[in-house]
């Protein structure tokens, strides 16, 4: 009888436990097979110079609609159980970071990662773009270029490509590679041979 009661208690606790927050899923992530085709279509070339680069040349966190800027829009897209203020900033909620598997309950602990970093884009072809195109790239909500992740993980990534940095959670390597490839494909950015090799290896985990 005691074991039955204990079993029922455990069952009720399991039912009461909150489900883990879903991983954010930016729009436009291709299938693995489509990503392989897109990767094959990218131009392989040595990385260009960083001369002249500045984040200011990629105006970001612009107003997207009403009171919302791009950062707030992504926070609100990728969070769960949010209470959003009249200024569009989420006052409470939770954010699951698929890069490292952490969940945060303060928006200040979350960064919005540019999947393809602005500096990497500059050295891969964006140095010749207009400022308007660089602004579109830095605020792209139509492709898998922006995602809410743990702030210090994003800072550890910096402007590294996948040949130098990968998400700590290996289970996310497939999705990360597919996002990276899609962004480079849409914007016709080049990849280095080392970068391509790393992406092929990551797609092999799909």
Which one has a higher pLDDT value, 138 or 11?
138
Is 8 a residue whose pLDDT tops 60? no
Is 13 a residue whose pLDDT tops 90? no
- Indicate the SS3 state at residue 92: strand
What is the residue range of 134's domain?
A: 20-203
Please count the structural domains in the chain: 1
Nearest to 199 by CA among 70, 2, 41, 84: 41
Q: What is the residue-averaged pLDDT of the chain?
A: 91
For 143-165, how does the pLDDT look when each residue is reduced to its tens digit (9 = 90+)?
A: 999 999 999 999 999 999 999 99
In sign, the C-alpha dihedral spanning 149, 176, 138, 197 is positive
Question: What is the reported pLDDT for 62?
Answer: 96
Q: Looking at the whole model, is its pTM more than 0.95?
A: no
Residue 11, in any domain of the structure: no
Nearest to 202 by CA among 168, 169, 184, 178: 178
Residue 154, in any domain of the structure: yes
Residue 123, in any domain of the structure: yes
Residue 138 CA to residue 117 CA, distance in Å, equals: 9
List of residues 6+ apart from 48 with CB closer than 8 A: 122, 123, 124, 125, 127, 190
Please check whether residue 96 is in contact with residue 146, taking contact to mean a CB–CB distance below 8 angstroms.
Answer: no
Give the residue-averaged pLDDT of 62-69: 92
Question: What is the reported pLDDT for 55?
Answer: 96
């Amino acid at each position: 009888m005691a074991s039955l009661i204990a079993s029922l208690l455990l069952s009720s606790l399991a039912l009461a436990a909150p489900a883990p927050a879903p991983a954010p899923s930016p729009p436009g992530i291709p299938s693995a097979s489509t990503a392989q085709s897109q990767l094959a279509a990218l131009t392989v070339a040595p990385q260009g110079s960083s001369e002249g680069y500045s984040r200011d040349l990629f105006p970001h966190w612009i107003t997207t609609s009403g009171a919302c800027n791009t950062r707030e829009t992504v926070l609100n897209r990728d969070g769960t159980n949010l209470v959003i203020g009249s200024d569009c900033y989420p006052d409470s909620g939770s954010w699951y970071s698929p890069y490292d598997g952490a969940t945060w309950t303060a928006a200040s602990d979350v960064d919005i990662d540019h999947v393809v970093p602005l500096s990497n884009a500059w050295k891969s072809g964006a140095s010749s773009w207009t400022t308007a195109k660089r602004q579109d790239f830095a605020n792209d909500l139509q492709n898998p270029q922006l995602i809410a992740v743990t702030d210090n993980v994003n800072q550890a990534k910096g402007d590294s490509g996948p040949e130098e940095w990968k998400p700590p959670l290996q289970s996310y390597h497939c999705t990360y590679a597919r996002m990276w490839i899609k962004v480079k494909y849409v914007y016709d950015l080049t990849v280095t041979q080392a970068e391509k090799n790393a992406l092929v290896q990551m797609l092999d985990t799909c």
